[in-house]
Structure 1
């Protein structure tokens, strides 16, 4: 009987020691892993890489180091490695069946790194979302919208969707459509538009000079299209300036807006209202 209690006491002491040692290894190991991740992020190896590749590798290293720490702790607790291997294999099969979407996201992340449809910092449109690509992780990509909303998009969805990269080229073409009353002179309106465009310093003369032409008409209005090339970074400024400068100059010149036709109560009588 005494031998039984002595053995039980010895086993209890061993278990407690293992648990305490495992806790120490956990806290020390976590600090060590965090330092290793920071050192790895600042290393020369990553500094030469593209931002998207860097983000992906950091996520992979982060996962791998914590997985290694978990294996060490389980081993300290005395769990046989053969049992751990069998458990991981069984769990892998179960998780693989239950998380087919997750595996497709992982494959999508790898394809994003290989084919590079966009770079980190690019302004993109995809999956009904428009914003700046901030991170590409193992399973998802983070996009920040112009109003500063952080959106997480699964990589699998991203690779199966159309991606528009507004930052890919150095130049962009701004285009705006204006309308005026049908009785106005198209040549006069065109001249006013071109003079207004000449005042916008960020418009470039090439690859095409500023364009302003009548491109259509309706029952009450003439439609004019203006186009101008600019540096990608200046696109929004040029777009807003086109709207403001041309509208102001047309108003100064007395160019009339199209009449708005409002149906009467009977539905077959109209009266014109100047916009």
Structure 2
């Protein structure tokens, strides 16, 4: 045994042991520093969404998570390199796996991309009334994949973001003041000035109709059986539907009280006696 120990040259193994220990120590240092950097950068990105009201917090939370995972992927590759692992094949494998996942989740990725665009450009926000993807309702939630609407009859509609972003979006709540378009028809035999005076009186008496800007009341069309006024009162956005659904009835009652006829379609039938 003693002769074996004397023949064993420890010095020839010492550099390898020291090298392995150094690699392990450097790998631990790289891992710790990488985790710290990933956490700090992720926290910074998330903080951007919290600092500025115009930036969507949900988007920046998602971006913070993505940044963290990307940094950690590079850190793990760097750690493997310290142990002599060939990382080129690993990177290629990860790329192929990412491509396969992307192809399998094309629909989800398109919704994600649309969700990112919606949160960056913000064509609407929670609480707005919008027309989108052929649906109308109050926006109750926006996430990276879907937009959720609540209708007037209290239904919940979940719309994929790709359908919203790819179509026309009408935001009824974007402007603080809105015009409410409606048509009021009177008979040809009625005086248009008198009819306009009645219409103006109804609008002036409505508490939700603004005086500035002034309501628009003008004859728009001479139809077959009626003279049509284009009536456009202005109101605050939150009162839009109150004005839209209350003023027409008030117009009807006021015109009736003033003795002004509201016409309905007439058809004249001429009878011909062919026996004569």
Structure 1 contact 52–120 (Cα < 8 Å) conserved: no
Q: Which has the larger radius of gyration?
A: 2
Q: Which residue of 1 aligns with 2:129?
A: 123
Instruction: Quote the offset at 1:221 in angstroms.
Output: 1.0
Equivalent-residue separation in structure 2 for 1:148 and 1:87 (angstroms): 49
Counterpart selection for 2:140 from 131, 134, 138:
134
1:173-188 equivalences in 2 (<5 Å): 173-188=179-194
Paired residue total: 209
1:53 aligns with 2:59: no
Flag the 1:64–1:47 CA change in 2: closer, same or farther, 3 A: closer
Q: Distance in 2 between matches of 1:63 and 1:136?
A: 19
Shift of 1:155: 1.5
Matched ranges for 1:61-140 at <5 A:
91-140=97-146
Secondary structure (helix, strand or coil) at the match of 1:104 reads helix
**Correspondence for 2:176:** 170
1:259–1:129 distance in 2 versus 1, CA, 3 Å:
closer
Instruction: Pick from 234, 237, 246 the counterpart of residue 232 of structure 1.
Output: 237
**Cα distance 1:63–1:147, how it changes in 2: closer, same or farther (>3 A)?**
farther
Deviations along 1:8-64, whole A, 9 cap, x unmatched? xxxxxxxxxxxxxxxxxxxxxxxxxxxxxxxx9xx9986655598234456778999
Which structure shows the higher strand fraction?
1
| Matched residue, 1:146 | 152
| Structure 1 unaligned blocks of 5 or more | 1-39, 66-81, 270-275
CA distance in 1, matches of 2:149, 2:246: 28
TM-score by length of structure 2 reads: 0.64
Tell me, yes or no, if the aligned pair for 1:180 and 1:223 is still in contact at 8 Å. Answer: yes
Q: How far does residue 153 in structure 1 lie from its aligned partner after superposition? A: 1.5
* Partner residue, 2:19: none
Q: Matched residues in 1 for 2:138 and 2:61: separation? A: 20
Q: Contact 1:105/1:138 (CA < 8 Å) preserved in 2?
A: yes
Q: For 2:211 and 2:236, how far apart are their aligned partners in 1?
A: 11
- Using the TM superposition, give the Cα deviation of residue 262 of structure 1 relative to its aligned residue in structure 2, in angstroms: 4.0
Q: CA deviation at 1:259?
A: 4.3
**1:122–1:223 Cα change, 3 Å:** same
Tell me what 2:39 maps to: none
